[in-house]
Structure 1
């Protein structure tokens, strides 16, 4: 079965961890993930500048490692990212900002990527509000 997963919750929201555990279970069960789409506050998961307290698990690093180790398609909504200051190199240059704080394995793109993912998947799920 093919799953498309949208995450709307930021790093501090328990839904971010629930979504990660679900995605891990999907792959462990032999299913596929057609796309992970990060929207609203979930775009903060793509920031390389988020620092977690030492006594907390680094959910941003966990998502990044999961995506990289499984070669998954991870799309960050560009409109939501720009509003929240999450920029890759191209957007930092485009908007004349001094630094980029996002990069591989994340791709900044539009909401149309989520629509495409839902059309390709057998099931679409979203986590967070």
Structure 2
């Protein structure tokens, strides 16, 4: 089965942990992930600057490692990311910000990527949100 996964919650939320565990289990079960799409507060999971407490698992790093190790299509909604200060080098330069903080492996793009993922996948599974 082909899955598209959308995450709307921040990295410290329980739904972020559930989404990561679901994605890991899907791949371990022989399924395919056509795209990960991070939207709303979920964009913080793609930031290289999130620091978790020492007694907590660092889900931002876990997500980035997961995307890199499995060479997944990790998309971060550009509008939500800009609003929350998650920038790649191109956007940091465009908006005259001192630094980029989008973690390696992620790409900024628009909501059309979520729509396309839903069309390519057998199931769109969403975690978090209001």
Q: State the TM-score, normalizing by the size of structure 1.
A: 0.98
Structure 1 unaligned spans of 5+: none
Residue 54 of structure 1 aligns to a residue in which SS?
coil
Residue 108 of structure 1 aligns to a residue in which SS?
strand
Task: Report 1:1-129 matches (<5 A).
Answer: 1-129=1-129
Structure 2 CA distance, aligned partners of 1:74 and 1:4? Answer: 10
Residue 96 of structure 2 aligns to a residue in which SS?
coil
Alignment size in residue pairs: 129
Q: What is the RMSD of the two structures over their aligned residues, measured on CA atoms?
A: 0.6
Structure 2 unaligned spans of 5+: none
**Structure 1 residue 55 displacement after superposition:** 1.0
Structure 2 CA distance, aligned partners of 1:52 and 1:4? Answer: 27
Q: State the TM-score, normalizing by the size of structure 2.
A: 0.97
